[in-house]
Amino acid sequence: MEKIPYPGKPVRGSETGNPIMALFDLLGRRWAMGVLWQLCSGGPCTFRELQNRCESISPAVLNSRIRELRQAKLLEKGELGYQPTELGKQIISSIYPLKSLAEQWVESLKGTEK
């Protein structure tokens, strides 16, 4: 089974395994946040559909992220395919306000490209 960051054990950014750092470690893995975001915004789906939603993700990386997110209890497989758990939905809901801030940031950068 894939090893996920676990609170109370050393994780990236925290030798003591601070819970928020363990969560950031997990969500900071390549495509982890994207997979969870796609499932929260687009609803449950099959592996192939999720791969299409994530565009450039490889099957191997998607498979690893699904395993890790399921092990962390942020994702589950339901009748309609993969879907976020209630906790997974809460995590995405808590960071959703960053979407509008990101859009403001993009606007502020216009004209500064090199």
pLDDT at 1: 52
Q: Which residue has the tokens 């559909």?
A: 49
Please return the burial class of 88, using the count of CB atoms within 10 Å of its CB with bins 0-12, 13-18 and 19+: buried
Show the domain range for 40: 19-109
CATH number at residue 63: 1.10.10.10
Q: Along the 114 residues of the chain, how does pLDDT read in single tens digits?
A: 558 998 889 898 889 989 999 999 999 999 999 999 999 999 999 999 999 999 999 999 999 999 999 999 999 999 999 999 999 999 999 998 998 999 999 999 998 876
pTM of the model: 0.87
Q: Does some domain include residue 1?
A: no
Beta strands in 70-109 (DSSP E): 75-78, 81-84
